Amino acid sequence: MIRVHGYLGTITDAMRDDVAHADLVVGGQRHLDALDVPDDKRQKLGLIGPAVERIQSLPDDARVVVIASGDPLFFGVVRRIRQAGLNVEVVTAPTSLQAAFAAVALPWDDAQFVSSHSKSVETAIRLARIHPKVGVLTAPGRGLAELVDGLAGRGKTFVLAERIGEENQRVRVLDEDAARAVVADEDVASPNVVLVLDHHPDSPQAVGVNPELAGDVNVNAPDDPQPGTDTNPDGSDRDPIIGQVINSDAAAAHAEAIDHALKRETKKYVGPSRTGLAAAWGECDLIVSHLALGATTRLIAPLLESKKTDPGVVV
């Protein structure tokens, strides 16, 4: 039996009991030390590969406990363990990003999330340039310092959540200058996560609106311009609502170039193209699809119900 426990600062009685009866305990050094796991029963969790190999070498009736930070189903170890053909039970915990949003009382259903644990922080930077609310799982050399440099001059607010869930947890809300000072002073504790926001978390704008699709901030509020009309709610003339469907880093870079050329901010639909295009279809006058023509045509075809509901142009 393999049981995966999420850990966010609290060692539960169930976790202690499982560890006490386990043949092997896999976890980070601090997890193993906190649980007093004997040396012969511990497997330090760095790269997941060696841990999986050791688990596979055990008898089928061996009892294995895996301790993983936060929610092990969210950018966590469960996917890799299951991909190896192993069956698991999961006792979850809140993800550190969820806890970071809770620390500043900010809804997170309209946020986008990026893991920089094993990849470049550039994806997080590109996403934060076009999305007002982004949560980043950081790693050494891919954290606050790199985010601040990559987003320089954009007026972003950074929420630095350090040792989230621990007794010495610290959560700070920083503007760009304050974030640079923290980095210069080397005053950043690990582990940490970073929220990158367009607005201070205490502001009404940061709360956002209720999205139909998680991570989507493009829901039109009652007072926003509505597609299919050339006037603002107050009766004045308005510019067309332009949306861009973005499903890759390259598309994000192209979208930013289009904004620069148009000298205006377009609506961004970041994520799966099918859901993004469907959302933009009902909210925009003009849609920029960064897909191939054939793919765009296939996705558009089911939406062609009426001339009255079509956007004016899809490019």
In terms of average pLDDT, the best of 16-20, 45-49, 110-114, 216-220 is 16-20
Establish if 103 belongs to a structural domain. yes
Establish if 283 belongs to a structural domain. yes
The residue among 5 and 47 whose pLDDT is bigger is 5
Can you tell me whether residue 143 is helix, strand or coil? coil
CATH number, position 39:
3.40.1010.10
Residue 233: pLDDT band with limits 50, 70, 90: low
169 and 199 part of one domain: yes
Cα distances from 198 to residues 55, 128, 154, 160, in angstroms, run 44, 9, 9, 15
Mean pLDDT of 52-76: 95
15 and 104 part of one domain: no
Single residue among 169, 204, 239 that ends a domain in this structure: 204
Single residue among 74, 93, 112 that ends a domain in this structure: 93
Which among 185, 182, 181, 186 is positioned nearest to 171, based on CA atoms? 182
pLDDT above 80 for 161: yes
254 and 179 part of one domain: no
Residue 230: pLDDT band with limits 50, 70, 90: low
101 and 195 part of one domain: yes
295 and 226 part of one domain: yes
pLDDT above 90 for 265: no
Residue 279: pLDDT band with limits 50, 70, 90: confident
267 and 235 part of one domain: yes
Mean pLDDT of 178-182: 98
Cα distances from 25 to residues 72, 125, 190, 315, in angstroms, run 15, 36, 23, 54
- Give me the number of domains the chain comprises: 3
Whole domain around residue 305: which residue ranges?
218-314
Establish if 209 belongs to a structural domain. no
106 and 194 part of one domain: yes
pLDDT above 70 for 312: no
CATH number, position 144:
3.30.950.10
Establish if 211 belongs to a structural domain. no
Establish if 210 belongs to a structural domain. no
36 and 105 part of one domain: no
What region does 41 belong to: left with phi over 0, alpha with psi -120 to 50, or beta? alpha
272 and 291 part of one domain: yes
**What pairing do the DSSP bridges indicate for beta strands 192-197 and 157-162?**
antiparallel
Establish if 231 belongs to a structural domain. yes
Percentage of residues in the chain having pLDDT higher than 90: 59
Cα angle value 190/196/197 (rounded, 5°): 145
pLDDT for res 5: 97
Strand extents, DSSP E, the chain: 2-7, 24-27, 42-44, 64-69, 89-91, 112-115, 133-137, 157-162, 170-174, 192-197, 242-246, 267-270, 286-289, 313-314
Establish if 243 belongs to a structural domain. yes
In terms of average pLDDT, the best of 147-156, 202-211, 249-258, 269-278 is 147-156
The count of other CB atoms within 10 Å of the CB of residue 59 is: 6
pLDDT for res 308: 55
Q: From CA 268, how far away is CA 302, in angstroms rounded?
A: 22
Placement of tokens 């007794």 in the chain: 167
pLDDT above 60 for 162: yes
CATH number, position 297:
3.40.50.11220
Mean pLDDT of 38-62: 93
pLDDT for res 269: 84
The count of other CB atoms within 10 Å of the CB of residue 61 is: 7
Establish if 190 belongs to a structural domain. yes
Q: From CA 150, how far away is CA 121, in angstroms rounded?
A: 9
Residue 277: pLDDT band with limits 50, 70, 90: confident
**pTM across the whole model:** 0.72
101 and 198 part of one domain: yes
Q: From CA 239, how far away is CA 92, in angstroms rounded?
A: 47
Contact 286, 315 (CB under 8 A): yes
118 and 55 part of one domain: no
Single residue among 204, 236, 269 that ends a domain in this structure: 204
